[in-house]
Structure 1
Amino acid sequence: MTNTFPQIPPVAMPKVIPSEFPQQRFHLGEWVRWFQVPNGDFGRVIGVIYTQQASCIATGLHYLVLLDERSPSREICICDFAFEDDIESLEKSSLEGLRGNHV
């Protein structure tokens, strides 16, 4: 049997590193949800990275989100990256509603 290793996407350093990075809209520990899709996932921000065209289609801040145990995609992935324009903050009442709607 042949050993197979997962492929790592190519990584390229940008030719010019920005002198300033955008201000974060979301912070570590903050609850967020994907709002542009039906039954969007939700969870807590656990990381932030900045990407440029060399490694990602969308340049800017991307947030690593630990999906809540009741988030729709949790059975197939524990964490997911979200582009800043695809997520929004969750207030406590909205979070409780989402947790109650997904069994």
Structure 2
Amino acid sequence: MTNTFPQIPPVAMPEVIPSELPHQKFHLGDWVRWFQVPNGDFGRIIGVIYTQQASCIATGLHYLVLLDERSPSRKICTCDFAFDEDIEPLDNSSLEGLQRNHV
């Protein structure tokens, strides 16, 4: 049996490194949901990265979200990336409602 190693995408350093990064709207540990889709996923922020067009289609902050075990897409993916414009914060009552609705 041969070992198969995952391919690592190419990494390109930006020509100009910004002196300031955009302000983070969300922080590690925040609960969020995708609000622009009818049956949006929800989860917790576990990482933040900054990309420029050299390595990604969109420049800016990307939030790595660990999907809640009851989130609709959790059966096919554990984590997903989101932009500021795609997600909104969840308060405790909204989170509990989502978790009850996706049992």
Q: Could you tell me the TM-score, scaled by structure 1's length? A: 0.92
Percentage of identical aligned residues: 85
**Residue 7 of structure 2 corresponds to residue 7 of structure 1:** yes
Q: CA deviation at 1:6?
A: 2.7
Q: What is the alpha-carbon distance in structure 2 between the residues aligned to residue 101 and residue 39 of structure 1?
A: 11
- Aligned Cα root-mean-square deviation (Å): 1.2
What are the ranges of 5 or more consecutive residues in structure 2 without an aligned counterpart?
none
Q: CA deviation at 1:88?
A: 0.6
1:46 match: 46
Q: Spell out, residue by residue over 1:40-89, the C-alpha distance to the aligned partner (whole angstroms, 9 max, x if none).
A: 11000011000110111111000011110100011111111111211110
Q: Any idea what SS the aligned residue of 2:80 has? A: strand
Q: What is the alpha-carbon distance in structure 2 between the residues aligned to residue 13 and residue 83 of structure 1?
A: 21
Q: What is the alpha-carbon distance in structure 2 between the residues aligned to residue 88 and residue 56 of structure 1?
A: 22
Q: What is the alpha-carbon distance in structure 1 between the residues aligned to residue 3 and residue 59 of structure 2?
A: 35
Give the ranges of 4+ consecutive aligned residues of structure 1 lying more than 6 Å apart after TM superposition.
none
Q: What is the alpha-carbon distance in structure 2 between the residues aligned to residue 21 and residue 46 of structure 1?
A: 18
What does residue range 1-103 of structure 1 map to in structure 2 within 5 Å? 4-103=4-103
Question: Given residue 61 of structure 1, which amino acid in structure 2 is its aligned partner?
Answer: L
Q: CA deviation at 1:3?
A: 5.2
Count of aligned residue pairs for this structure pair: 103
Q: Any idea what SS the aligned residue of 1:64 has? A: strand
Q: Could you tell me the TM-score, scaled by structure 2's length? A: 0.92
What are the ranges of 5 or more consecutive residues in structure 1 without an aligned counterpart?
none
